[in-house]
Amino acid sequence: MVRRKNVLESTTLPGKLADCSSNKPEECEVYIVEGDSAGGSAKQGRDRKFQAILPLWGKMLNVEKARADKIYNNDKLQPVILAVGAGIGADFDITKIRYGKVIIMADADVDGAHIRTLLLTFFFRYMRPLVENGNVFLAQPPLYKLSKKGMQDIYCYTDNDLAEKYKELEEKGIARDQLALQRYKGLGEMNPEQLWETTMNPENRILVQVTLEDAMKADETISLLMGDEVEPRRNFIIENAKDVKNLDI
């Protein structure tokens, strides 16, 4: 009853969804964006014809420990279910999806990784055909911006990318101390033009297509770290404690 009344029979789109003008799923894409500030920049910077924006705020529901009725009524997951438009679980119909690309766009930090993992687990468990069909993607926002007066800004997406750009510029006679380096801590730090140019423009952006294996790994991670079994979690922490680089306290 909960499922039928509240989600699958609803024709209303989520209030925070900024939809696109096209109604052809094969050319449409929806960005699931972490936070209202980044969502605001994404709404302003997007191409309204084919790009929709769905901002989410706060932590996602951990589907590992949730009952079905909690999932259907959750205020974080329900907008995702309604936006995709193809139902959920056994009722999911891939032919009814409203967007050919469902793109998770989260910050490049610990919280962003957590949100991506939770969303991938949800898609794997309740919208698996979406993953199997290759409709789920991860956006790759830049980590750094190199700038210098009279030079076009250079965006770097990984630490290796940054090192290579430094080397290329030094070969052209531009020393490191002549460059201003900005480290992006979140999507909200970018203005609409920067977000479009680096992360949303199909000509420049980097999208990673999620495979079923990726989603399975996310699901295994959630089961291990957030499940009811304490012993596997303790063993994982003991084995990996020395390798921690980004500790969120």
Which are the catalytic amino acids? 34, 107, 109, 111
SS3 211: coil
What CA–CA distance (Å, rounded) separates 11 from 7? 9
Radius of gyration of the chain (CA): 20
Q: Which two tokens stand for residue 217?
A: 């790994």
Gap between the terminal Cα atoms of the chain: 41
What CA–CA distance (Å, rounded) separates 208 from 210? 6
> Residue with structure tokens 């094969």?
26
- Tell me the one-letter amino acid at 249: I
Question: What phi and psi values does residue 133 have, to the nearest 5 degrees?
Answer: -85, -5
Phi-psi map region of 91: left, alpha, beta (phi>0 left; psi -120 to 50 alpha): alpha
* Cα-to-chain-centroid distance, residue 92: 21
Under 8 Å between Cβ of 137 and 101: yes
* Cα-to-chain-centroid distance, residue 142: 13
What CA–CA distance (Å, rounded) separates 187 from 176? 25
Burial of 215 (0-12, 13-18, 19+ CB in 10 A): buried
